[in-house]
Structures are given as C-alpha cells and as structure tokens.
Amino acid sequence: MTLVFVLVWLLLGGIGGYTLGYRLGKRDGHRQERLRVPLMLRARALQTGTCPVCDKCSNGLD
C-alpha cells in the first residue's frame, strides 16, 4: 500500500513538473522573442544605412 502511494505521488509530481516546465518554456520563448526585436531593428538600420532610433537620418550619425 505504501509503495502504491509513493508511486502515485511520483507520477503526479512528474506530470506536474512536466506541465510547469512546458508553460515556463513557452513563457521564456516569448521573453526571448521580445528581446530579439530591438536587435533585428538595429540590424535592419545598419543594412539600410538609416538611424535605428528615428528612421530619418541618412547615415545613422545625424
């Protein structure tokens, strides 16, 4: 009886840990995507030669 009790708790803990890890992983992926956007804007500004702040400068130095 005690062995069954321990096995059930281990199973429930494994399912709960998997679910929590999956949710946190999705949230972390969203956080990484939000951090990546400014870098992509800067890279595009360097490619086009515009200012990454105002998009009006012609050489990025004005």
> pLDDT by residue for the chain (62 residues), tens digit each?
799 999 999 998 888 888 888 777 777 766 777 777 788 888 887 887 777 666 566 554 54
| Distance (Å, whole) CA 17 – CA 34 | 26
In the prediction, which pLDDT does 48 show?
A: 79
Residue 31, H or E segment? helix 2-48
- Separation of alpha carbons 37 and 31, rounded Å: 10
Q: Supply the range of the domain harboring residue 13.
A: 1-59
Q: How far is CA 2 from the centre of its chain?
A: 42
Residue bearing tokens 């992509």: 40
CA–CA separation, 21 and 43 (whole Å): 32
Q: How many domains does the chain have?
A: 1
